[in-house]
Amino acid sequence: MLQSNFKIQSVKIFLILAIVNILSLTGLAQSNGSIPYKSQEVSENDGIPVLIKHLPEWESVRAQTTFATGVNGLKAALGERPVLDMIDFASGTEAVTAPYPAGKLLIIEYTSPQASIEADGQFTAALNSAGDRSTIYRRIGNYNAFIFDAVDEGGANALLDQVKYEKTVQWLGRNPFEISAERAFVISTTDLFISTVMIVVLGAGFSLVGGIIVGFLFYLIREKKRSRLSNFTDAGGMTRLNLDGFTPDIAPKGYLSD
């Protein structure tokens, strides 16, 4: 009897755990399904990546928009293009593409301005060497934007003009990229030279002034001591011959009686 009750309770516990696991998996699936994108920056209202909303008239091309965090997603939307293999997605790079009458727009967002600048040089060199006039490229803020299969250059540039980089970077201190490295070196070297010269000049000035003050105080002390003497002697209190008659007698008078 006890064994049968124990078996029944074991079965009930097993069923309860199974139901809890099923419900947890269902809730996890629903939560994952509610977030269609994995992006570093999404809108708080609808969960759509901010990069998608930076497309020109993004709501009108929403159904044809492709958001990608890897090169395979871009190739599925744009086809095999040599420039796509140059995009480094390892550091969290994101991209979005959508078709327009002027051509297929691709916006790439890197995680740092340095990576965007480095990629800009690589893209420009590759496009110049390939001589592909149907691809229009421009770096816009921290975005690297392409127009593939451009119908005409004017329309492609007009479409790129609508892409706005609306993010700002606030540095805790001074912006290190405000000026070039060469100019920063010249300014820092000049500041170091001027500060060194000022320290040397101020040190020499303080030494000179301090020497004058100490010398003047020493002179006053010596003059005060000399003013206390009844007669001046150049012997400094030493024993000397009393040839001028100014030195008072030190020895007592009359060691021997007359």
- Name which of 6-10, 22-26, 210-214 the model is least confident about: 22-26
> Which tens digit of pLDDT belongs to each residue from 155-173?
999 999 998 887 665 666 6
- Quote the mean pLDDT of the chain: 78
- Rounded to the nearest angstrom, the gap between the alpha carbon of residue 66 and the centroid of all alpha carbons in its chain is 32
- Contacts of residue 52, defined as CB under 8 A and 6 or more positions apart, other chains included, come to 58, 62, 65, 67, 96
> Which one-letter amino acid corresponds to residue 253?
K
In a 3-state reduction of DSSP, which class is residue 229? coil
Please give the average per-residue pLDDT across 94-119, as a whole number: 91
pTM given for the model: 0.52
Q: What is the share, in percent, of the chain residues with pLDDT greater than 90?
A: 31
- Whether the pLDDT of residue 195 is over 70: the answer is yes
| Alpha-helical segments (H) within the chain | 2-33, 50-53, 71-78, 113-130, 153-161, 181-228
Please give the average per-residue pLDDT across 90-95, as a whole number: 86
Residue 95, Cβ density class (10 Å: 0-12 exposed, 13-18 middle, ≥19 buried): buried
pLDDT, position 28: 40
pLDDT, position 166: 72
Domain ranges (residues) in the chain: 50-161, 176-219
What is the chain's Cα-based Rg? 45
User: Is 112:144 a contact under the CB 8 Å cutoff?
Assistant: no
Q: What is the share, in percent, of the chain residues with pLDDT greater than 70?
A: 66
Tokens of 49: 């990546």
Parallel, antiparallel or unpaired: strands 94-100 and 103-109: antiparallel
Q: How confident is the model at residue 29 (pLDDT cuts 50, 70, 90)?
A: very low
- Whether the pLDDT of residue 101 is over 50: the answer is yes
DSSP code, position 119: H
pLDDT, position 197: 92
Integer Cα distance of 106 and 78 in angstroms: 9
- Whether the pLDDT of residue 148 is over 80: the answer is yes
* pLDDT greater at residue 2 or residue 180: 180
